[in-house]
Chains A and B, each alone.
Chain A
Amino acid sequence: MAASITGLLKPWSPRVFLVRWSRYNPYYLEPEISKEAYSKPESELSAEEKEERQLKTIRPIKAATSGVTSSVFCDPVISKFINMTMQNGDKVLAREILTQTLEDIKRKQVEKYHKAPEGKKEEIECNPYTIFHQALENCKPIVGLASIQKGGKYYQVPIPLSDNRRRFLAMKWMITECRDNKHRRTHMYEKLPRNCWQLL
């Protein structure tokens, strides 16, 4: 037992090892996913960035979630949307739905582009990502209501929302709208693009 791993344990390592939890000791640092952050040479870094890099060599780092990749095509908004459409942990299906949605939008736009006359071609937006982001932007609320208690009664007061909350509400409303107001046999990847077009 002398050759056990207790010698390798540091003061900040938890007694019970985290395997799939998301609660970490605040001593752990966030992982850096993109490759560009590390491709900068030493000379171009400012003093703070140099300190951060120094810190990363000493301190432990949280494990990256399985939803993020170092791929150049990784988009945090799209990943969040996929996580929200996911049901029963079926990420494969949720991703499939979203890729089909994006392909649908792109196909429609590219068809329009190729059939349009020369002058109108520049006005047609073919990128499905910009269309999707624009639709979400249009769906975001500006203010939200909060229940404030004053003098024994609760009043619904409009307050400004944080960016995260706005993004969450936009996505939630989009998904519930697609799930509820459609015919039983329409698929999500048919209804989602129709919603996007309505929101633009």
Chain B
Amino acid sequence: MALHRLSFRLRQTATYVRSLHTSGCGQQQAAVAVESESETFSVCRAQENDPACQSEKHLGQYYTLPSAHVRTLFPHGLPWRYQQQVKTFNEACMMVRSPALEVISCLKKTDTSKPAVRYLFYGLKGSGKTISLCHAVHFCYTQGWLVLHIPDAHIWVKNCKELLPSSYNTSRFDQPLQATEWLRNFKVTNEHFLSKIKTKQRYVWTKRESTEEGSALGELVDQGITRVKSSSDVVGAVMKELRLQSGQPESNFRLAVAVDGVNALWGRSTIKKEDKSAVDPEELTLVYNLKKLMKNDWTGGAIITTLSQTGSLYTSKSAYLPHELLGEKGFDKMDPFIPVSVPNYSEKEFESCYLYYMDRHWLQHPQSHTEEGKKELVFLSNRNPSMLERICGSL
């Protein structure tokens, strides 16, 4: 897609060069035409593709994520509809919005000697919390941080196909399938860190298998992927190693923990034990180890989370505030955190989104190009990003 834009820019300069050779009055008109063309071109697209260099003047504009980054960073992190959009438009573009920019500016100033700061994105359904999280995670990736991304904590507490009693602690339960999937995606994201980080402890899996002290993290992850039965314990071990090592002066990496749907950790689950009694999320190994990461007793990184009502169990549809979704226990555990509200699109952002869809030839209905059509889109979607996307899908 960069090639397409390059040719566009060259076309612009070519017309400008041609106009210099024409008569004087023609030159004026051509110059104005080129200027307005470049204006519409840049109004919805930011020229800055690096999240570290984005600032308030890029607010409302779309920046492109390189496809290599998308493939490694987000094997499992992006929402389904956004993935389809990336496939259709042949490029991954995200809008630069103020909640994500605020969190990124705070992340730039993180002090590695202080305990990890917790950020929480909250907002109405479909207002862009997951995409803001992905934007912040992309920033962390470009800065070389180690990214621990859990795409949806709710899948760990519902629809469990296999539940095994944990070998490490008999009162807890293991989820081998989810753990192996997560480990596979973790490996894809953090390929280059796996050989650099060494374990500080010896782990014994069975009578014949163990991971020695000082072996690479990659070996630990491979152990979890190949031996499915002990994968949940491997996940716990990986999290413990990263937590202990991230603040130390000899380790040169920073840890970014990104969890989407963090209210699942303190909610209820629909998984049932054999005697039909419900399993508390505390009793699941994966959730137990993740909660240890959520505590801010470790240094050298940041915790970025999102609330999500869509996948959550036993919460009302209209709940979106932190206190309602996290509950008493969750709120006390997460406290103190920095809440970041993600609102619906402002007028400028809506304009930018509309222009982007027009640029990508997504709005095909002839009436949607008119003012009346635009007013109707505003009315029907209430400037909610996901509603706008669904409505524009069929137009």
Contact = CB atoms under 8 A, between A and B. Distances in A.
Interface stretch (B83-91, B176-184, B274-282): B83-91
A129 B89 CA distance: 20
A165 B360 CA distance: 39
Contact of A127 (B89, B364, B373, B393): B364
A72 B84 CA distance: 27
A126 B367 contact: no
B367 A106 contact: no
B365 A127 contact: yes
A71 B368 CA distance: 11
B109 interface: no
A40 interface: no
B393 A103 contact: yes
A111 interface: yes
A111, A113, A114: residue with the most chain B Cβ atoms closer than 10 Å: A114
B376 A110 contact: no
Contacts of B84: 107
Interface residues of B, number: 21
Interface string B242-270: 00000000000000000000000000000
Interface in B74-106: 84, 87-90
Given A102-B394, A103-B394, A106-B364, A111 B373 contact: no
A73 B88 contact: no
Contact of B88 (A100, A107, A127, A128): A107
A114 to B, nearest CB: 4
B22 interface: no
A21 to B, nearest CB: 31
B87 A72 contact: no
A128 B89 CA distance: 16
A72 B373 contact: yes
A195 interface: no
Contacts of B89: 110, 114
B57 interface: no
B370 interface: yes
B18 interface: no
A106 B368 contact: no
A111 B88 contact: yes
Contacts of B370: 72
A74 to B, nearest CB: 9
B361 A73 contact: no
Nearest to B393: A103
A72 B394 contact: no
A10 interface: no
B332 interface: no
Nearest to B87: A111
B376 A99 contact: no
B15 to A, nearest CB: 16
Given A110-B89, A114-B88, A114-B89, A73 B393 contact: no
Contacts of A107: 84, 88
A153 interface: no
B40 to A, nearest CB: 19
Contact of B361 (A71, A102, A115, A126): A126
Contact of A111 (B90, B365, B367, B376): B90
B395 A73 contact: yes
Interface in A92-119: 98-100, 102-103, 106-107, 110-111, 113-115, 118
Contacts of B365: 73, 127, 129
A100 B394 CA distance: 7
B376 A71 contact: yes
Contacts of B56: none
Contacts of B376: 71-73
Given A106-B364, A126-B361, A128-B364, 4 more contacts: A72-B373, A103-B394, A118-B7, A129-B365
10 contacts: A72-B372, A72-B373, A73-B367, A107-B88, A111-B88, A114-B89, A115-B90, A118-B7, A126-B364, A127-B364
